[in-house]
Structure 1
Amino acid sequence: MKVACVGGGPAGLYLSILLKLRDPSHDITVHERDPEGSTYGWGVTYWRGLLDRLQEHDPESARAVEENSVRWRDGVAHVGDRSTRHRGDEGFGIGRHRLLEILAARARSLGVRLEFECEITGDAPPAADLVVAADGAGSALRTRHAGHFGTDVRAGRNHYVWLGTTKVLDAFTFAFVETRHGWIWAYGYGYGPEGSTCVVECASETWTGLGLDRADEAEGLVLLEKLFADVLDGHPLTGRSAPGARAPWQTFRTLTNRTWSRDNLVLLGDAAHTTHYSIGAGTTLALEDAMALSAALRDRAALPDALAHYERERGAALLPVQSAARHSAQWYENLPRYIHLPPERMFALLGQRHSPLLPYVPPRLYYRIDRAAGQLEALRRLKRWLGPRVARTVQARNLAAREENDGPAPSGPGAVRGHSG
């Protein structure tokens, strides 16, 4: 099969790797509009589950990704001059440039052609048996047929900007700073010895009140460095705009599509769906799309059947993630509802931000209910753990007492009868 992947991000590159691994005779080309190595961005985050799935599909690239990642288990929240730290699940960070280098090298080693500085427009798609639109949320191939795909884009309320810093954070870090125009906050995580990713977000009135809507990027970075000085420890923030240009602040666009394919054209990754950055799932979902599409193409001989199966599988898998992302975004949009709680309580509800119940229950009451439920679950786990051990201990004591009174117990099938407990 001749395959053209439009977009050289993680989704397109990983799909090309998986297709070549399953059938080296596939003729695969990845078309990327930007020069090689020019991608913007600092680091991406993912969790242990993704690494396990990468290992199942291609151990070689999984090993390279893990070796070039940093990891953490702690989450830290700074709220004004108060802080709290909690132990959590194992998380990973890797530089976006390094991730793309790993995937590009693996694809080339398998015989995939990579064509950089090659822009594909919706009016002139490449000739291939399968054309994969992996060209991001602004996909030209999808936009050309937006009516067919049923594309829907909804903007969030808050403004955000994606930045980097040379400060190497040792935990997934949240920092909330109060200004006279409202709260502004940052999410940060390390991706290597060179630094960390730092996403800054605030409500529209805070953005305009601080003058960030009028400042160029350099002016905005100076202001943000002052606001987050305690977390940055004197390290600078870095942007990506040309000197004098406005910082690329934007509102997050949640993108969905009614269908994901049209004839031999199929959507992949952000071209098909976006989920709010606050759940850290974008790269994971893109790679999982590639896994599902490659498996569907392997298992179903007819292309329409394969694409329909891929869409059904990924659509079902995305439902809980999209719900979690929607509630997470809304939690931050309603930050004043939670921010004045004690830090450990605020951080606990930050961890519960995916809950559809949380917006409708007073935060202090929700916290108490959640704590009580957690204690009950801990008791249930303890009971499940203790149950077999207590039963074995009681059985051993009963047997010892019986032997003491009656002599050794008989052996053999059917020797012990009566109640179990």
Structure 2
Amino acid sequence: MCVKVACVGGGPAGLYLAILLKLLDPSHDVTVHERDPEGSTYGWGVTYWRGLLDKLHEHDPESARAIDASSVRWREGVAHVRGLTTRRPGDQGHGIGRHRLLEILAARARSLGVRLEFEHEITPENLPTADLVVAADGVHSALRTRHADHFGTETRTGRNRYIWLGTSKVFDAFTFAFVETDQGWIWCYGYGYGCGFGPEAGTCVVECAPQTWTGLGLDTAAEADGRALLEKLFADVLDGHPLIGRAAPDGRAQWLNFRTLTNRTWHRDNLVLLGDAAHTTHYSVGAGTTLALEDALALAGALHEHAALPQALARYEQARRQALLSVQSAARYSAEWYENLPRYINLPPQQMFALLGQRHSPLLPYLPPQLYYRIDRAAGRLEALRRLKRRLGPKIARTVHARAPASRK
């Protein structure tokens, strides 16, 4: 239906939407406008799960194969608390360098005839002429901000401080490390992401309560000094590897408070929001890139199925809002779990790690942690028995039937 499409923002969402639109109809005129130079990115590694990879294979096998080949995988979670280590099996996770992901998507888009215009900033004053303008310009979207009242934009700022860092340490599992200091607890999430930064690399996200952040002097330290302190605090989990960061223009580290963003509506006339411009979910659930790519899938599908733009955009928004409900709820409870870490950190390591895995539960904040743990264990055993019964039930029935006396058959 759309003849000319302008995607503002060359992140995963904008690039993948451009790919999908050209695959659905090669006659579409699609341009991606990105303000930064090609090859520059301000992230480290991104995570995703098998379900997303299956969707990518379904809609564009070529880019999916390249993403798969450049990703690392893990099936375990590891938690380090007070010198103790606990491992738990889990679903297969994937990590890929953001730089490499963008490289794959940009190459694929070009091969399909998408125009990529780097170092080309689009503002509300110089919008390109197009049938559809896609605001894929991130959480600080200038296009959305111009019409914030229409979109009903709201943000909620989290309490804890966090910083996104790289490292040459290669993590063999999704790793959590909790360190107690005189100023309170500080912790990190670490995972590998393979190609993109180098032959082997990892991401390390560090988080702490505001009083710990100021107590350790991280609020005033120069970037290099703060990073050296973090390397010392997490020396065991990093195995002596350095952390890699980027200083702000004033020389300080780029510590942030996470901002959860929502919008009442996602479209206005021929302008539609995509990815972080439309919504954000706390980084502790590792869903940001997945949700952005799923937005692109939904928008491309709606544009292909509906001839009229208003109906297509309404369908896209309806479908994605519904899909996001459970993820946004999980992200909210996950963020709150970390903000209330003292409630859980003194549990025995096995219990603490189990509740770390249950942090998305809306019930957990309202029950004593050890009671929740016992209930969860009991429910798990019951579910295991139910699965065993479903698996063995038909076999037992056939055996009993085969052995029954003839008069009973």
Fold match (TM-score > 0.5):
yes
The match for 1:165 is 167
Q: Does 1:264 align with 2:264?
A: no
The match for 2:230 is 224
Code of the aligned partner of 2:280: T
The match for 2:35 is 33
> 1:350 and 1:267 mapped to 2: Cα distance?
33
Look up the SS of the partner of 1:118 in the other structure: coil
The match for 1:15 is 17
The match for 2:351 is 345
1:386 to 382, 392, 396: 392
The match for 1:210 is 216
Q: Does 1:93 align with 2:95?
A: yes
How far has the Cα of 1:240 moved from its partner?
Answer: 1.7
Look up the SS of the partner of 2:292 in the other structure: helix
> 2:320 and 2:55 mapped to 1: Cα distance?
15
> 1:123 and 1:377 mapped to 2: Cα distance?
58
Look up the SS of the partner of 2:137 in the other structure: coil
Provide, for residues 268-322 of structure 1, a one-character-per-residue CA deviation record: whole Å limited to 9, x for no partner: 0000000000000000000000000000000000000000000000001001100
> 2:125 and 2:384 mapped to 1: Cα distance?
58
Provide, for residues 90-130 of structure 1, a one-character-per-residue CA deviation record: whole Å limited to 9, x for no partner: 00000111000000000000000000000011222111000
> 1:153 and 1:194 mapped to 2: Cα distance?
36
Residues 297 and 307, structure 1, Cα contact 8 Å, conserved in 2: yes
Look up the SS of the partner of 1:336 in the other structure: helix
Provide, for residues 350-385 of structure 1, a one-character-per-residue CA deviation record: whole Å limited to 9, x for no partner: 010000010000000000000001001101111111
Code of the aligned partner of 1:358: L
Distance change in 2, residues 1:282/1:231 (3 Å): same
| Corresponding pairs, count | 403
Provide, for residues 71-90 of structure 1, a one-character-per-residue CA deviation record: whole Å limited to 9, x for no partner: 00010000121110011000
1:152 to 141, 151, 154: 154
Provide, for residues 9-56 of structure 1, a one-character-per-residue CA deviation record: whole Å limited to 9, x for no partner: 000000000000000000000000000001122110000000011111
Q: Does 1:236 align with 2:239?
A: no
The match for 1:413 is none
Q: Does 1:287 align with 2:301?
A: no
Code of the aligned partner of 1:18: L
2:56 to 54, 59, 68: 54
The match for 1:175 is 177
The match for 2:131 is 129
Q: TM-score, normalised by structure 1?
A: 0.94
> 2:277 and 2:298 mapped to 1: Cα distance?
15
Q: Does 1:6 align with 2:45?
A: no
Look up the SS of the partner of 1:35 in the other structure: coil
Look up the SS of the partner of 2:289 in the other structure: helix
2:281 to 275, 279, 285: 275
How far has the Cα of 1:176 moved from its partner?
Answer: 0.3
* % same residue: 78
> 1:222 and 1:375 mapped to 2: Cα distance?
45
The match for 2:360 is 354
> 1:354 and 1:243 mapped to 2: Cα distance?
36
Residues 217 and 244, structure 1, Cα contact 8 Å, conserved in 2: no
The match for 1:112 is 114
> 1:290 and 1:303 mapped to 2: Cα distance?
16
Q: Does 1:377 align with 2:383?
A: yes
Residues 248 and 254, structure 2, Cα contact 8 Å, conserved in 1: no
> 1:242 and 1:153 mapped to 2: Cα distance?
23
Code of the aligned partner of 1:376: L
Which protein is bigger by CA-based radius of gyration? 1
Code of the aligned partner of 2:74: W
How far has the Cα of 1:244 moved from its partner?
Answer: 6.5
Provide, for residues 244-264 of structure 1, a one-character-per-residue CA deviation record: whole Å limited to 9, x for no partner: 611010100000000000000
4+ residue runs of structure 1 moved beyond 6 angstroms? none
The match for 1:322 is 328
Code of the aligned partner of 1:265: L
Residues 328 and 354, structure 1, Cα contact 8 Å, conserved in 2: yes
Residues 122 and 142, structure 1, Cα contact 8 Å, conserved in 2: no
> 1:194 and 1:218 mapped to 2: Cα distance?
22
Look up the SS of the partner of 1:344 in the other structure: helix
The match for 1:409 is none
> 1:183 and 1:239 mapped to 2: Cα distance?
21
Residues 123 and 144, structure 1, Cα contact 8 Å, conserved in 2: no
The match for 1:187 is 189
Code of the aligned partner of 2:232: K
Look up the SS of the partner of 1:178 in the other structure: strand
Look up the SS of the partner of 2:41 in the other structure: coil
Q: TM-score, normalised by structure 2?
A: 0.97
CA RMSD across the alignment: 1.1
> 1:41 and 1:253 mapped to 2: Cα distance?
17
Look up the SS of the partner of 2:385 in the other structure: helix
The match for 2:374 is 368
Q: Does 1:82 align with 2:84?
A: yes
> 2:312 and 2:222 mapped to 1: Cα distance?
48
Residues 29 and 114, structure 1, Cα contact 8 Å, conserved in 2: yes
